[in-house]
């Protein structure tokens, strides 16, 4: 008899696996069985393989290219050079940042690893052999890898194609290697605040060049069907719809004849937002040969040539009263963009959202100027697991706070608490023009400090310093603090677009007669678990179990138009579209239920998975019943079927925040470190799936660890990449990864339909300053103010050495 | 990361392997675990037209301990070195060192013969074998000969082995006393910034014998007799350790790379060696 008892309300809620449920990731079954389907798994009949001839030089003129030996190799189909692409006007391509980039070297090369020729062969091995046989004659030119030197009057002109152009899409260029100057805030008022301040701290904070290094490198398979005129492109695209539009504009093929598919993507982290020469070459090669063409880069190519991240020299000044109230903040950035400006930012923001640099603090006046500069390095400047330039901004302010604390002789935790934006100030208008949606920083901060016993740690640290001075230990203790505020979820169409496409996103839902559903979105998961979490959002909205909802993304023939996944925008934008589309479904379902129950629709109320007649709980129709009715009953005034689509233009960004504490032991003699404790409190608004949040935080912190403690793309003075393999480019394994303690507060976004803010990037944004501040803090007692990341062993050793700690 | 094309040979006995090497001369190389050679081929830094795989030669595998004498077949994997109980008794320093090489995947494939024959200054086993005063057995077209590990390494990738010779086994006497293998690296899977192999004998509270070698601080491993001599007759007190370290530092010639500049490496070498001596002494 038991199983006849109707389920309780709690049981019905639980069955939905909706918001707040730590539902297991539905994607993992195929991944753990080796059944993922990545670009390199795609094999089409008659497929050719492409490989690049790349420049060994950072700056050189290309005198000649002789492909005869390569073409003589059996199985080689063609060798494409800029000359072959020129008649199609495809030897250059536009970048997302309003610049243009060579697809294949047109007369000269500007960075090591630049694409010079594209070899096309019957198999991948022949292509690699043939690439070696292409003879390129170079004439070396002077190399500039330092953005400050690039701006010197007599610096060699890198971009001869721009010769004489004294303005670009972002305004005036004041030097032949200058790209733009972008400013925000009030310069004069800021200068005045700083010059009249009681205390001023000034520092150059460098956020070094690094790389997102997703496990799967970039690649594409293009297939032109010459009979029906359709072009299909499979690729590692974080924004497949935008790729389709760009491909149409570049190739002249009408957009409905192009299908772009992002299959499973093995991590993106911003590396797969841009358009790369490899994509263009595979498409052109397929159009020319009429055969499918695959291009997949190897690890070294990925690290050398596809988009890097950061490389910001941030000169900061922060002013305060004697008792530690911040009165002004100024920053000038020298931004090294490499050879082409290929940053992936919303069009109107050449420095992304760097002007979130006032962070979590109520700073009355601020100013920022960013100079973009060309150098002989790879192009890029993508948002590596962060919203556009937000990690740079968070690192900058969290370092400046520490430096100011030193200047004031004040505890850095206290200085933060003193200057936080208070709860009642939200929505808060920052000095640099943002409207922070919601936050409760003091609560999070106090919770974090209490959790780690902050005062106890400081006591232990002081004892350690004494013991060190007495010669009893060679290890120092660093306490790394961070309170970060992000800006994610780009973004309102009125000011955010990419190549003119407004940064809305979309969801289209189809309910099947038996009460299951498919929802398609304009985003694309690269490991974030969209198939799991978007089904949960929908389950709570429409009352069908998440297990009965398929989520599909990444095929432009079936998914609604969207701007893709990066900048933590999927939940804030597409997640909102999902909730809104779900609400449309529910509205129609209400009319159907009213008809079935023979009441007025106003007499119904929604209860978990059903509409119930108000005051008569025994009279109801479940969503499952309603779905069936939508297809098998003629309901007057209601169209058959149950579908909805929503395009969501967010009214504002969302502002996730968090409080992190890192406790680190540093061996001053070897420069090695050990992370004893890492506490991460994240507030991402409404929590959709706590388990996925925890996973995202663990992953993001580990990337932050890598960046802060060793990961870099380093060049020597003649432009050779010194860190081109995973032997030298630091990718942590389980061994280097510490234990993390995660925690949360929950301050919903007031403008998001379900109050969610996005979390995937928070740990990288907050983690980097937390690790770096721990290193700095360990040496604070010995007079350290600022050293540059990455804090690898020899640099930590050098810090200790320069401070005289080696006797 | 695609190697140039090559021919693959898989002889089932040593004679056939030697014959293939002889036939193709310079164009042939033996393949053991492949975890140094194949990356070089994929980077196209090594071009090998004929690859002679030793995997199918059963005689090259295994660990034999006979009284105080240890003999390890060249094709014994690093994992097998770690797992072998008898070896852990006879020469515990080998397990301690092998556990610090790369990661389990590499150690399942990588062999002790490949590690010592490779001649890469980054490899840990050559210094270790010099510390153990091991002897390598080389088989060539004219029979076999033996070469001391301490006389085997000439320069980076240059060894006393002739191109047509195969290293078949490594032999040494079981060690008594204390031991330590200390290694600083940037991460799992990295070669040493500095590594030290130390074996000490203790007799009535005094050091009666010492063997010290270091890795990746010159273009060959550095076994410094003077460093060991500085400890003999002492109680390994700080002064004596300091003299041993000085003696070693006088012999190393590190070069700058991504691990750091020379000054840093010299400093770390001293720290690592001091720690290794202290640990070995505490176990002696
Ligand atoms: C990620 C990674 C990290 C690593 N880290 C370390 C480390 O920290 N420390 C360390 O010591 N090693 C390290 N290695 C190298 C690893 O231990 C190799 O396995 C080892 O160096 C070579 O052994 P092999 O059996 O793989 O030899 P192979 O790669 O097959 O051969 C290496 C060379 O030796 C020659 N050779 C092999 N066997 C013989 C023989 N019997 N006679 C004559 N010549 C022979 C080959 O012709 C070749 O030139 C690392 C490797 C990788 C991939």
Average pLDDT over residues A252-259: 96
Residue of A116, A96, A98 lying closest to A106 (CA atoms): A116
Question: How many whole angstroms separate alpha carbon B74 and alpha carbon B77?
Answer: 8
* CB-CB under 8 Å, A670 with B1: no
Chain A, chain B: beta-carbon pairs less than 8 Å apart: 64
Q: Is A696 among the residues known to form the active site?
A: no
A770 and A708 co-located in one domain: yes
Q: Can you give the residue range of the structural domain that contains A798?
A: 387-490+653-802
A546 and A639 co-located in one domain: yes
* CB-CB under 8 Å, A128 with B2: yes
Average pLDDT over residues B79-92: 97
In a domain, A341, yes or no: no
Nearest-CA distance B42 → chain A (Å) = 11
A737: nearest CA in chain B?
A: B187
Question: How far is the centre of ligand 1, averaged over its atoms, from the C-alpha of B37 (Å)?
Answer: 7
Chain A stretch 123-152, residues whose beta carbon is closer than 8 A to a beta carbon of chain B = 124-125, 128-129, 132
- What is the full DSSP assignment across A19-78? TT--PPPTTHHHHHTT----GGG---TT-EEEEEEE-SSSSEEEEEEE-HHHHHSTTEEE
The residue whose CA is least distant from atom 44 of ligand 1 is B117
Strand partners, A204: A315
Ranges of CATH 3.30.465.10 domains, chain B: 58-173
**Is residue A4 over pLDDT 90?**
no
**Of A596, A622, A648, which residue sits at a domain end?**
A648
DSSP H or E segment with residue B31: strand B28-31
Ranges of CATH 3.30.43.10 domains, chain B: 7-53
**Any residues with CB less than 8 A from the CB of B14 and at least 6 apart, and which?**
B57, B59, B60, B139, B166, B168
In a domain, A157, yes or no: no
**Is residue B95 over pLDDT 50?**
yes
Question: How many whole angstroms separate alpha carbon A122 and alpha carbon B263?
Answer: 51
Question: How far is the centre of ligand 1, averaged over its atoms, from the C-alpha of A183 (Å)?
Answer: 54
The residue whose CA is least distant from atom 27 of ligand 1 is B114
For the beta carbon of residue B247, count every other beta carbon within 10 angstroms: 19
Give the residue ranges of DSSP H helices in A268-338: 277-289, 299-305
Domain count of the fold of chain A: 3
**Is residue A1 over pLDDT 70?**
no
A455 and A480 co-located in one domain: yes
Condensed to tens digits (0 to 9), the pLDDT of residues A754-772 reads 999 999 999 999 999 999 9
Give the pair of three-digit tokens for residue A365: 């006046």
The per-residue pLDDT of chain A, averaged, comes to 97
The per-residue pLDDT of chain B, averaged, comes to 97
Contact A451, A391 (CB under 8 A): no
Contact A17, A26 (CB under 8 A): no
**Is residue A288 over pLDDT 70?**
yes
Strand partners, B135: B148, B171
What is the number of the ligand 1 atom nearest to the C-alpha of A727?
1
* C-alpha distances out from residue A546 to A291, A779, A788, Å: 41, 51, 47
**Of A285, A305, A325, which residue sits at a domain end?**
A305
| Ligand 1 touching residue B216 (CB < 6 A) | no
Identify the residue whose tokens are 């974030």.
Answer: A528
Average pLDDT over residues A261-287: 96
What is the CA angle A90-A92-A94, rounded to 5? 105
Condensed to tens digits (0 to 9), the pLDDT of residues B178-206 reads 999 999 999 999 999 999 999 999 999 99
A717 touches B at CB < 8 Å? no
A515 and A407 co-located in one domain: no
Nearest-CA distance B136 → chain A (Å) = 30
Question: How far is the centre of ligand 1, averaged over its atoms, from the C-alpha of B99 (Å)?
Answer: 15
Instruction: Single out the catalytic residue among A281, A386, A496, A507.
Output: A386
For the beta carbon of residue A760, count every other beta carbon within 10 angstroms: 30
- Predicted local confidence at residue A196, as pLDDT: 98
Q: Is A386 among the residues known to form the active site?
A: yes
For the beta carbon of residue A530, count every other beta carbon within 10 angstroms: 27
Burial of residue A365 (number of CB atoms within 10 Å: 0-12, 13-18, 19+): buried
- Predicted local confidence at residue A3, as pLDDT: 63
* CB-CB under 8 Å, B188 with A733: yes
- Comparing CB atoms, the residue among A125, A714, A801 nearest residue B2 is A125
Q: Which three-class secondary structure state does DSSP give residue A223?
A: strand
On whether the B178-283 domain is CATH 3.40.50.720, my answer is no
In a domain, A314, yes or no: no
A677 and A783 co-located in one domain: yes
C-alpha torsion angle, residues B229, B231, B232, B234 (rounded to 10): 150
Residue of B182, B236, B228, B187 lying closest to B209 (CA atoms): B228
Question: How many whole angstroms separate alpha carbon A393 and alpha carbon A401?
Answer: 12
Chain A stretch 731-760, residues whose beta carbon is closer than 8 A to a beta carbon of chain B = 732-733, 735-736
- Predicted local confidence at residue A177, as pLDDT: 98
Average pLDDT over residues A416-421: 98
* CB-CB under 8 Å, A669 with B1: no
Question: How many whole angstroms separate alpha carbon A530 and alpha carbon A23?
Answer: 12
**A692-725 burial: b if 16+ Cβ within 10 Å, else e:** bbbbbbebbbbbbbbbbbbbbbbbeeebbbebbe
A48 and A32 co-located in one domain: no
Ranges of CATH 3.30.390.50 domains, chain B: 178-283
C-alpha torsion angle, residues A300, A304, A309, A310 (rounded to 10): 130
Question: How far is the centre of ligand 1, averaged over its atoms, from the C-alpha of B31 (Å)?
Answer: 9
- Predicted local confidence at residue A646, as pLDDT: 98
**Of A305, A328, A360, which residue sits at a domain end?**
A305
For the beta carbon of residue A557, count every other beta carbon within 10 angstroms: 12
Condensed to tens digits (0 to 9), the pLDDT of residues A667-717 reads 999 999 999 999 999 999 999 999 999 999 999 999 999 999 999 999 999
- Within 13 Å and on the Cβ side, how many CA atoms surround A499? 24
Question: How many whole angstroms separate alpha carbon B37 and alpha carbon A351?
Answer: 45
Average pLDDT over residues A365-375: 98
B102: nearest CA in chain A?
A: A727
Residue of B171, B178, B197, B147 lying closest to B65 (CA atoms): B171
Domain containing residue A120: CATH number: 3.90.1170.50
| Ligand 1 touching residue B128 (CB < 6 A) | no
Nearest-CA distance A70 → chain B (Å) = 14
A703 and A638 co-located in one domain: no
What is the number of the ligand 1 atom nearest to the C-alpha of B100?
8
Q: Is A9 among the residues known to form the active site?
A: no
- What is the full DSSP assignment across A137-201? EEEE------HHHHTSTTPPPS-GGGTT--EETTEE--STTEEEEEEEE-HHHHHHHHHT-SEEE
- Within 13 Å and on the Cβ side, how many CA atoms surround B59? 11
Average pLDDT over residues A77-104: 96
ipTM of the complex: 0.96
Domain containing residue A664: CATH number: 3.30.365.10
A463 and A596 co-located in one domain: no
Nearest-CA distance B53 → chain A (Å) = 21
Asked whether the bond before A254 is cis by omega within 30 degrees of 0, the reply is no
In a domain, A30, yes or no: yes
Give the pair of three-digit tokens for residue A399: 């370092």
A64 and A88 co-located in one domain: yes
* C-alpha radius of gyration, chain A, whole number: 28
Q: Which CATH number fits domain B58-173: 1.10.10.200, 3.30.465.10, 3.20.20.70, 3.40.50.150?
A: 3.30.465.10
Q: Which CATH number fits domain B7-53: 3.30.43.10, 3.40.47.10, 2.60.40.1120, 3.20.20.410?
A: 3.30.43.10
C-alpha torsion angle, residues A233, A236, A239, A245 (rounded to 10): -20
Condensed to tens digits (0 to 9), the pLDDT of residues B100-158 reads 999 999 999 999 999 999 999 999 999 999 999 999 999 999 999 999 999 999 999 99
Condensed to tens digits (0 to 9), the pLDDT of residues A597-637 reads 999 999 999 999 999 999 999 999 999 999 999 999 999 99
Contact A370, A343 (CB under 8 A): no
A626 and A670 co-located in one domain: no
* C-alpha distances out from residue A318 to A404, A676, A786, Å: 7, 31, 14
In a domain, A229, yes or no: yes
Contact A554, A238 (CB under 8 A): no
- Comparing CB atoms, the residue among A125, A714, A730 nearest residue B186 is A730
For residue A2, name the pLDDT band (cuts at 50, 70, 90): low
Average pLDDT over residues B211-231: 98
B187: nearest CA in chain A?
A: A736
Q: What is the pTM of this model?
A: 0.97
């Amino acid at each position: 008899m038991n199983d006849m008892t109707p389920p309780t309300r709690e049981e019905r809620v639980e069955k939905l696996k909706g918001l707040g449920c730590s539902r297991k990731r539905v994607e993992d079954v195929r991944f753990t069985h080796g059944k993922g389907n990545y670009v390199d798994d795609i094999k089409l009949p008659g497929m050719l393989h492409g490989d690049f001839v790349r420049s060994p030089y950072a700056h050189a003129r290309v005198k000649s290219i002789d492909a005869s030996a390569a073409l003589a190799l059996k199985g080689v189909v063609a060798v494409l050079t800029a000359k072959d692409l020129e008649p199609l006007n495809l030897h250059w391509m536009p970048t997302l940042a309003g610049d243009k980039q060579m697809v294949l070297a047109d007369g000269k090369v500007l960075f090591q690893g630049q694409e010079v020729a594209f070899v096309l062969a019957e198999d991948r091995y022949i292509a690699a052999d043939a690439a070696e046989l292409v003879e390129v004659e170079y004439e070396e030119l002077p190399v500039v890898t330092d953005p400050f030197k690039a701006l010197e009057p007599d610096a060699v002109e890198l971009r001869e194609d721009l010769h004489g152009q004294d303005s670009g899409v972002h305004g005036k260029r004041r030097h032949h290697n200058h790209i733009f100057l972008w400013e925000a805030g009030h310069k004069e008022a800021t200068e005045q605040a700083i010059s009249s301040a009681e205390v001023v701290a000034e520092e150059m904070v460098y956020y070094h060049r690094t790389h997102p290094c997703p496990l799967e490198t970039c690649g594409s398979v293009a297939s032109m069907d010459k009979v029906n005129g359709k072009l299909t492109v499979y690729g590692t695209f974080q924004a497949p719809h935008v790729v389709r539009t760009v491909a149409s504009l570049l190739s002249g093929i009408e957009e409905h004849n192009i299908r772009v598919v992002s299959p499973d993507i093995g991590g993106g982290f911003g590396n797969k937002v841009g358009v790369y020469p490899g994509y263009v070459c595979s498409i052109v090669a397929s159009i020319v040969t009429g055969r499918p063409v695959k291009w997949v880069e190897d690890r070294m190519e990925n690290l050398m040539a596809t988009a890097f991240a950061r490389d910001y020299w941030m000169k900061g000044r922060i002013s305060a009263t004697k008792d530690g109230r911040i009165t002004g903040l100024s920053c000038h950035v020298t931004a090294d963009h490499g050879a082409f400006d290929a940053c992936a930012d919303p069009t109107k923001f050449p420095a992304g959202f760097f002007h979130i640099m006032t962070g979590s603090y109520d700073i009355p006046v601020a100013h920022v100027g960013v100079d973009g500069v060309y150098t002989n390095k790879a192009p890029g400047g993508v948002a590596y697991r962060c919203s556009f330039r937000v990690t740079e901004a968070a690192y900058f302010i969290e370092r400046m706070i520490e430096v100011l604390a030193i200047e004031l002789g004040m505890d850095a935790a206290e200085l933060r608490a003193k200057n936080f934006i208070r709860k009642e100030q939200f929505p808060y208008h920052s000095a640099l023009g943002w409207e922070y949606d919601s936050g409760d920083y003091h609560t999070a901060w106090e919770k974090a400090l209490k959790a780690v016993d902050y005062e106890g740690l400081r006591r232990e640290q002081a004892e350690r310093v004494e013991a060190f001075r007495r010669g009893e230990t060679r290890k120092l203790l660093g306490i790394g603090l961070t309170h970060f505020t992000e800006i994610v979820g780009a973004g309102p169409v009125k000011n955010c677009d990419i190549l003119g496409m407004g940064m809305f996103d979309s969801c289209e839902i189809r309910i099947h007669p038996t009460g299951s559903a498919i929802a398609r979105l304009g985003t694309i998961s690269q490991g974030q678990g969209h198939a799991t979490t978007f089904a949960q959002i929908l389950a709570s909205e429409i009352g069908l179990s998440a297990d009965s909802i398929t989520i599909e993304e990444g095929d432009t023939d079936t998914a609604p138009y969207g701007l893709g996944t990066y900048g933590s925008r999927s939940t804030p934008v597409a997640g909102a579209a999902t909730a809104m589309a779900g609400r449309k479904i529910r509205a129609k379902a209400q009319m159907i239920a009213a008809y079935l129950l023979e009441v007025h629709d106003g007499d119904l109320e929604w209860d978990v998975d059903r509409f119930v007649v108000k005051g008569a709980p025994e009279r109801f129709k479940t969503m499952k019943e309603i779905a069936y009715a939508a297809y098998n009953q003629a309901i007057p005034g209601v169209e058959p079927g149950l579908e909805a689509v929503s395009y969501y233009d967010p009214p504002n960004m969302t502002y996730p925040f968090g409080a992190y504490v890192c406790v680190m032991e540093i061996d001053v003699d070897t420069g090695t470190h050990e992370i004893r404790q890492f506490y991460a409190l994240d507030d991402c608004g409404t929590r959709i799936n706590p388990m996925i949040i925890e996973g995202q935080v663990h992953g993001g912190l580990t990337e932050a660890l890598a960046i802060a403690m060793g990961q870099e793309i380093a060049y020597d003075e003649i432009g050779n990449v010194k860190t081109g393999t995973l032997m030298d480019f630091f990718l942590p394994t389980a061994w280097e990864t510490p234990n993390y303690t995660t925690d949360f507060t929950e301050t919903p976004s007031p403008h998001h339909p379900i109050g969610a803010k996005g979390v995937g990037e928070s740990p990288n944004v907050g983690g980097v300053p937390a690790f770096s501040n721990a290193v700095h803090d360990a040496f604070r007692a010995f007079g350290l103010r600022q050293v540059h990341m990455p804090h690898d062993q020899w640099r930590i050793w050098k810090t200790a050495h320069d401070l005289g700690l080696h006797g | 990361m695609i190697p140039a094309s090559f021919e693959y040979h898989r002889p089932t006995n040593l004679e056939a392997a030697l014959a293939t090497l002889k036939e193709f001369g310079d164009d042939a190389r033996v393949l053991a675990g492949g975890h140094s050679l194949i990356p070089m081929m994929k980077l196209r830094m090594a071009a090998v037209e004929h690859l002679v795989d030793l995997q199918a030669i059963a005689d090259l595998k295994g660990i034999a301990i006979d009284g105080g004498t240890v003999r390890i077949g060249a094709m014994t994997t690093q994992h097998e070195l770690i797992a072998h109980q008898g070896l852990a008794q006879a020469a515990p320093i080998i397990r301690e060192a092998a556990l610090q090489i790369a990661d389990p995947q590499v150690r399942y494939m990588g062999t002790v013969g490949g590690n010592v024959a490779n001649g890469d200054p980054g490899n840990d086993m050559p210094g270790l074998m010099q510390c153990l005063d091991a002897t390598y057995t080389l088989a060539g077209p004219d029979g076999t000969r033996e070469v001391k590990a301490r006389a085997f390494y000439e320069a980076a990738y240059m060894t006393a082995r002739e191109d047509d010779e195969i290293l078949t086994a490594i032999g040494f006497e079981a060690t008594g006393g204390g031991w330590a293998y200390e290694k600083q690296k940037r991460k799992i899977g990295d070669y040493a910034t500095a590594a030290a192999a130390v074996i000490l004998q203790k007799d009535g509270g005094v050091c009666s014998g010492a063997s010290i070698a270091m890795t990746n601080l010159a273009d060959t491993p550095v076994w410094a007799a003077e460093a060991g001599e500085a400890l003999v007759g002492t109680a390994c007190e700080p002064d004596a350790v300091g003299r041993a370290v000085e003696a070693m530092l006088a012999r190393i010639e590190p070069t700058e790379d991504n691990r750091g500049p020379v000054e840093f490496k010299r400093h770390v070498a001293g720290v690592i060696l001091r720690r290794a001596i202290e640990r070995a002494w505490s176990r002696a």
